Amino acid sequence: MTARHTKRLSEESHHRALAHFLKIAEAQYPALRFCYHVPNESLGIGPIVERNRNGKRSRVPLDVLINAERGVRAGVWDWQLLWPNVVSVDGRQPCGWRGIAIELKADTDLSTEQKIWQEHYLMNGWQTRIFRHWADAAAYLVRWVGGDPARFEGLEV
Domain assignments of the chain as residue spans, ordered by start: 11-40+75-150, 42-73
Q: Which pLDDT band, with edges at 50, 70 and 90, does 1 fall under?
A: very low
pTM score? 0.80
Comparing 17-26, 50-59, 136-145, the range with the smallest average pLDDT is 50-59
Question: How far apart, in whole angstroms, are the C-alpha atoms of residue 89 and residue 80?
Answer: 16
List alpha helices for 2-133, DSSP H.
11-25, 62-69, 112-123
CATH 2.40.50.100 for domain 11-40+75-150? no
Look at residue 15 and tell me whether its pLDDT is greater than 50.
yes
Residue ranges of E strands in 15-119: 35-37, 48-53, 56-61, 79-81, 99-104
